[in-house]
Structure 1
Amino acid sequence: MAVSRTVELDGHIIDSGMMETSFRTIMEMGGSFEVEEFQIGRSKTEESYARLLVEADDEDTLQSIIHELHQNGANPADPTDATLEPAPADQVVPKGFYSTTNHPTEIRVDGEWIDVENIEMDCAVVVEDSEARSASEDSSGQSPREHGDNPRAYTKVLNAVEEGDLIVTGSAGIRVNPPDRPRDSEGAFGFMQGGVSSERPSESTIRKIAGAIEETKREDGDVLAVCGPALIHSGAREDLAALVREGYIDMLSIGNGFAVHDLERDLYGTSLGMDTEELDHPRKGHKHHIYTISEIIRAGGIEEAIEEGLVESGVMYECVRNDVPYVIAGSIRDDGPLPETITDAIEAQNAIREQAHRADFVMMLSTLLHSVAVGNCLPSTTRTVCVDINPATVTQLVDRGSAQAVGMVTDIGTFVPILAEHLFDERE
């Protein structure tokens, strides 16, 4: 006997591809559908609406289809409250828990929709009411969260789940709202509507990115730069340092290699043993990076090396001098590492997550693994630009769920200096 459920789609569902994706999902998963109502927006800004009756041969198939549609922004037409189950143990979620997308999400509790805080993909949703908050008060008697008596919902990664946390399970009482993509996008961020292309005019695209950064700063937003060591190797170090010094970058997310080669450039004039100006390899240049690590450790750390005058230029120098926070996340292949490198993977994830939740605009500059790591923590509403010589970097980022990322295929050593030039010209 066939079972059915009615879902609704609203917004720019045609331009964004939401309707087409929903149709395809239903058919590919063995279901069928009937369009019960369809209202088409007749202007560039007017939204559309559709109501679909989704049918399947059995309840399990229907639930699987509804789950996939839900990830795409299709929501039940007859919502009920979310199903909450306590976590049976620390780091253990109930079976059938709801795994989040990176889209803005709401949870229905006691007949009211509440926003899920700190949304990011692949998390559990914890719902906390006033009684639960009272129980979590610290020893001073002050609640660590000031949200009055209203319930709240927020994401938790699985390793942070605590026994007794009320976890959202199933698909009932959950509303996902993917960002709209209207037909006519204006303003500095209007260009951020496509995936990746090596055919776009570099100069005009970089000018638009500069405009987007300017607009972010005018709105008191925070710009996060996610950088790989290729940026140092390519000779863009001084321009990125200038962007930090002039206040265009508010946070830096890097790996041990980036910091080492930036510092190496100051101490020895090389990056991974190569002179980035003369493009030759000095004698013993291949040892410069390990010598650099040794000198920084001897000084007690990056900040200490700068304070004592050992390091006098570069990106890390400007971050310290201008109080720009940075996160150096370590990896299994790191030399040293530097004293500031976070070698605990979970601790590094949490530090990156804190940056990602603060960011309003993110530039991912020539680093595949770090871009994916940060992208996993970003909500889909965060404007993101990914620049790499390899188009596969952006493709993988989008495939992992960061569909908001706009890619530019170009040499990072070309991109950063031109970006800095445009930003500094606009300031004058």
Structure 2
Amino acid sequence: MTVARTVELEGHIIDSGTMGHCMGVVMDMGGEFEVEEFEVGRHKHAETYCRMTVMADTEEDLRAILHELNQQGATVADPRDATLHEAPEDGVVPVDFYSTTNHPTYVRVDGEWIEVADPEMDCALVVERDDADEPRVSTKVLNAVEEGDLVVTGETGIRVEPPERPRDGGGSFGFMQGGVSSERPSESLIEEIAEEMREVRENDGNVLAVCGPAIVHAGGRDALADLVGAGYVDAISAGNGFAVHDLERDLYGTSLGVDTENLEHPRDGHKHHIYTISEIARLGGIEEAVEKGVVDEGVMYECVANDVPFVLAGSIRDDGPLPDTITDSIEAQNAIREQAHEADLVLMLSTLLHSVAVGNCLPSTTKTVCVDINPATVTQLLDRGSAQAIGMVTDIGTFIPMLRDELLE
């Protein structure tokens, strides 16, 4: 005896490969499908509709298949309202809670589809009501769930809409077709990234730069500082190391004890890193160091001088750390999440761990560019779920100056 449910797919499901992927999921998971209705869009802007019955041996198997199909944008036909259960205690979600994707998501409550606020991967969906009893659905990380929260469970009453890539390659980010390549023409891509940054700026949007220490080592620090000072970067997300190397470059002319101009090792240069931390701590922090004239150039200087907010998230590896570094990982994660939710365009610049951390907080509709000399960095970001990212495998010390020249000259 088999069990079955009918699902629907609609949109550019052929061009984007969604339909074929969904059919493959059913077969790979031991199920079967039967197409009941199939209407193909007959020009490049037309959408395709597919209605199919999915069959499995058991309810458990069927539910697993439906979950995977849901993540790809398939919707159960004739849906019911979402199933809600109260969280039993703080930080604990009900069994079979719905684990989110970072795609635009809708939840059916009181017979109406409610758009989920701030979509983010690997979260729970919580339904709240305002004073007028109107429902609101939002994502919550598990540690933020409170006892009594109404949490969405199962797959019923949930609709996911993955971003599509129409045949003409258009959409919100025309050149962003995903994947990783070092063969793409860097100059033309940089021109398009610059154009996106201009458009974001003209529309009072927000560009977030996720920065790794290699920016300073490779010689891209001054160009990034110029972009911050010129108003093309609206927020910085980095670790303790990036800020320390940037400040060390200003105070001592070195980065990790190496002169970035002539690559020489000054006497006692290996101490400059920790001396920098000590000096900034003595002054009370980065802002105080700028105000007292001790720090007068670089990325952190431009952030303070131009009121550009920054989040420095600490790690177990940090020396010091700087007074401005957030050492509580949950607090740092929440601060990164606020930045991510405000961003319209994210530049991930030569940092694997920070790129993945910020990527985890981004909705799939946020334009994302990841630049690193190591293709594994971009690949891991894409594999982790940030499928909207375009990857450029190139030297960060070449990329940022080229981007600066394109925007400022």
Aligned-partner residue type, residue 310 of structure 1:
V
Q: Is the 8 A contact 1:188 1:211 kept in 2?
A: no
Task: Name the SS of the counterpart of 1:8 in structure 2.
Answer: strand
177, 182, 185: which is aligned to 2:166?
Answer: 182
In the TM superposition, 1:97-176 aligns within 5 A as: 97-130=97-130, 149-176=133-160
Aligned-partner residue type, residue 165 of structure 1:
D
**For residues 252 and 129 of structure 2, what CA distance do their matches in structure 1 show?**
57
**For residues 227 and 78 of structure 1, what CA distance do their matches in structure 2 show?**
46
Say if 2:336 is the partner of 1:352.
yes
Say if 2:295 is the partner of 1:311.
yes
**For residues 42 and 339 of structure 2, what CA distance do their matches in structure 1 show?**
40
The answer for the alignment partner of 1:143 in structure 2 is: none
In the TM superposition, 1:29-428 aligns within 5 A as: 29-130=29-130, 149-186=133-170, 189-425=173-409
Task: Name the SS of the counterpart of 1:376 in structure 2.
Answer: helix
Aligned-partner residue type, residue 207 of structure 1:
E
CA deviation string 1:357-408 (max 9, x = no partner): 0000000000000000000000000000000001111110011111001100
* Residue range with higher mean Cα deviation, 209-218 or 367-376: 209-218
**For residues 2 and 182 of structure 2, what CA distance do their matches in structure 1 show?**
48
**For residues 49 and 251 of structure 1, what CA distance do their matches in structure 2 show?**
41
Task: Name the SS of the counterpart of 1:37 in structure 2.
Answer: strand
Aligned-partner residue type, residue 282 of structure 2:
R
**For residues 244 and 408 of structure 1, what CA distance do their matches in structure 2 show?**
21
C-alpha RMSD over aligned residues: 1.0
CA deviation string 1:120-169 (max 9, x = no partner): 00000110123xxx5xxxxxxxxxxxxx5411000110000000000000
Instruction: Report the alpha carbon displacement of residue 187 of structure 1 after superposing the two structures with TM.
Output: 7.8
CA deviation string 1:41-87 (max 9, x = no partner): 12222111111110111111011000000011111111000000000
**For residues 226 and 47 of structure 1, what CA distance do their matches in structure 2 show?**
36
Q: Is the 8 A contact 1:252 1:325 kept in 2?
A: yes
CA deviation string 1:201-235 (max 9, x = no partner): 11111111111111222222100000100001011
**How many pairs were matched up?**
409
Q: Is the 8 A contact 2:165 2:171 kept in 1?
A: no
Task: Name the SS of the counterpart of 2:195 in structure 1.
Answer: helix
Aligned-partner residue type, residue 23 of structure 1:
M
**For residues 155 and 178 of structure 2, what CA distance do their matches in structure 1 show?**
30
| Structure 2 unaligned spans of 5+ | none
Identity across the alignment (%): 72
CA deviation string 1:302-330 (max 9, x = no partner): 00011001101000000000000000000
Q: Is the 8 A contact 1:188 1:208 kept in 2?
A: no
Q: Which runs of 4+ in 1 moved over 2 A?
A: 185-189
TM-score by length of 1: 0.94
CA deviation string 1:73-131 (max 9, x = no partner): 1111110000000000000100000000000001101100101111100000110123x
**For residues 133 and 331 of structure 2, what CA distance do their matches in structure 1 show?**
31
CA deviation string 1:17-59 (max 9, x = no partner): 1111101100000001111111111222211111111011111
CA deviation string 1:222-249 (max 9, x = no partner): 0000010000101111100000000000
**For residues 406 and 39 of structure 1, what CA distance do their matches in structure 2 show?**
32
CA deviation string 1:145-201 (max 9, x = no partner): xxx541100011000000000000000000101112111134882111131101111
Aligned-partner residue type, residue 43 of structure 1:
H
Task: Name the SS of the counterpart of 2:250 in structure 1.
Answer: helix
Q: Is the 8 A contact 1:188 1:215 kept in 2?
A: no
Residues 181 and 187 (structure 1 numbering): CA distance in 2 closer, same or farther, change over 3 Å?
closer
Task: Name the SS of the counterpart of 1:180 in structure 2.
Answer: coil
TM-score by length of 2: 0.99
**For residues 173 and 101 of structure 2, what CA distance do their matches in structure 1 show?**
23
Aligned-partner residue type, residue 318 of structure 1:
E
Task: Name the SS of the counterpart of 2:254 in structure 1.
Answer: coil
Q: Is the 8 A contact 1:15 1:182 kept in 2?
A: yes
**For residues 149 and 319 of structure 1, what CA distance do their matches in structure 2 show?**
43
Task: Name the SS of the counterpart of 1:36 in structure 2.
Answer: strand
Residues 28 and 171 (structure 1 numbering): CA distance in 2 closer, same or farther, change over 3 Å?
same
